[in-house]
Amino acid sequence: MIKLLKLQKAILMLVLGVLSFIAYRILDAYEISWARYMQILAGVFVIVGSLWMLYPIIFAKKDNDGNAEIITDPTVEVPVDEEEEKPVAE
C-alpha cells in the first residue's frame, strides 16, 4: 500500500525524524551544546513526512460521482482479490 500510493519518501522522512530525535536524546544526555539543533531537525523531518503523507489525499481527483480517485503508481501491480464462492443455503 505504501508503494502503491507513492509514500516511500514520507516514511523515510518519518524514520529520519525518529533517528534524529534519538540522536538528540543521546547528545542531550552528554550535555552537548548543539544538541538542540538535532531536535529542530527531528521536528522538521516529522512535519515534512506527515505533510507528504497527506499529499495523495489533498490532490486526489474526483470522478463524476464525487468519489475521490487517488492516483497510484502505475508500475506497481495490484493483486486482484478473487471472490470466494459461498455455499448457497437452501
Run means of pLDDT, 10 residues per run, the chain, 90 residues:
77 96 97 96 97 84 71 72 66
Question: pTM (2 decimals)?
Answer: 0.71
**Residue in the block written with cell 516529522:** 46
56 class by beta-carbon count within 10 Å (0-12 exposed, 13-18 middle, 19+ buried): middle
pLDDT at 80: 72
At residue 65, the pLDDT reads 75
The domains of the chain are located at 8-69
Segment holding 69, helix H or strand E: strand 68-69
Mention every residue, 6+ apart, whose C-beta is less than 8 A from residue 20: 38, 39, 41, 42, 45
Nearest CA among 52, 51, 69 for reference residue 60: 69
